[in-house]
Amino acid sequence: MNTQLLLIQVFNGLVNGAFYALLSLGLAVIFGMLRIVNFMHGALYMLGAFTAFALGQAFGLGFWPSLLLAPLLVGALGMLLERTLLSRLYGLDHSYNLLLTFGLTLLTQDLVKQVMLSRFDVSSAPFTPPAALAGVVNLGFVIFPKYRLFVIALALAVCLITWFVIERTRVGATIRAATENPGVTRAFGINVGRWVTGVFGVGVALAGLAGVLAAPIYSVEPYMGAELIITTFAVVVIGGMGSILGSVVTGFAVGVLSAIGAAFYPPIANTLVFILMAVVLLVRPSGLFGLPEGAR
């Protein structure tokens, strides 16, 4: 095995890992706190990318304002959906919210497809990295796009901040309390419903953010989230459903492993994550960082 190639692919894998981590982090936050299996996460990721493109086309907004605005818009849409639709399903079986979010996914994809074709006349939207991050940089062992370095750095920072807020701050403590024991929390005069909506919004905004970050790398098209979401669910399962640390660590790890797979034995690149999932589930049914159901 060629060590330089190995090193290069480990590094390269962090980029995809960043997307897996951001998406599975959002899923983990939403599942861990609200017990919602959000199948729509991939579509919201796509919506983040599409919103960035549309903002640019309609208002001439560049990458940087979009990077802030698109996740906010996607997050707001998420909160609206949570208030109007998802909140009606709490306490029911998981399959209800799974079906609902799956239906919303199909709806969103077709809607975006229609808008792209009719309003922008493309099936896949052009989007380039911002001028400041265009081009490549020679890192000595590899020539690498600047933009991808930025993606790794930003994703790491966002993951760290999210983890810190939830595990180490008062806000996080309130959220955890509101979801662990809504009755008692309510008795303290805390509006639990509002916190739940907020958490869902943040989780969804993370997907939107990943989407904007992906727009300069992958083609922006209605189904861009469909493939990714399956891998992301596998990441969440491997990391342990609802575990924040698990989703981030596993996200990056899976990215690195599939990059190595793609370089040394391409046919395995897309299956690797499922092999990994099967092995982990055999050894630790609750995932690498997950707590067994009873311990929650």
Structure tokens at 224: 């861009």
Residues 6+ apart with CB under 8 A from 292: 285, 286
Segment interacting with other proteins (CB under 8 A) among 122-130, 169-177, 193-201, 280-288: 122-130
What amino acid is encoded at 237 in this protein? V
Pick from 8, 33, 249, 276 the residue near other proteins by CB under 8 A.
8
Structure tokens at 107: 């709806």
Pick from 144, 150, 163, 274 the residue near other proteins by CB under 8 A.
144
Closer of 155 and 228 to other proteins (Cβ):
228
Pick from 72, 85, 230, 269 the residue near other proteins by CB under 8 A.
269
220: β partners: 125
241: β partners: none
Does 274 interact with other proteins (rule: CB under 8 A)? no
Does 124 interact with other proteins (rule: CB under 8 A)? yes
Give, for 136, the enclosing helix (H) or strand (E).
strand 136-138
Closer of 58 and 136 to other proteins (Cβ):
136
Pick from 229, 253, 263, 288 the residue near other proteins by CB under 8 A.
263
Pick from 122, 139, 160, 173 the residue near other proteins by CB under 8 A.
122
Long-range CB pairs of 95-102, under 8 A, 24+ apart, other chains included = 97/36, 97/37, 97/38, 98/37, 98/39, 101/36, 101/37, 101/38, 101/39, 101/40, 102/39, 102/40
Instruction: Count the site residues for other proteins by CB under 8 A.
Output: 38
Site string for other proteins, 75-114 (x = CB under 8 A): ----------------------------------------
Contact 245/235 with Cβ under 8 angstroms?
Answer: no
Does 143 interact with other proteins (rule: CB under 8 A)? yes
Structure tokens at 290: 């997950």
Pick from 64, 227, 275, 278 the residue near other proteins by CB under 8 A.
227
Minimum CB–partner distance for residue 200 and other proteins (Å): 27
Residue 21: phi and psi, rounded to 5, are -65, -45
Does 66 interact with other proteins (rule: CB under 8 A)? no
Residue 290: phi and psi, rounded to 5, are -85, 155
Q: Are strands 143-145 and 136-138 parallel, antiparallel or unpaired?
A: antiparallel
Segment interacting with other proteins (CB under 8 A) among 51-59, 164-172, 195-203, 262-270: 262-270
Contact 173/167 with Cβ under 8 angstroms?
Answer: no
| Residue ranges that bind other proteins, judged by CB under 8 A | 4-5, 8-9, 12, 15-16, 117, 121-126, 129, 135-136, 142-145, 147-148, 216-219, 221, 224, 227-228, 259, 262-263, 266-267, 269-270
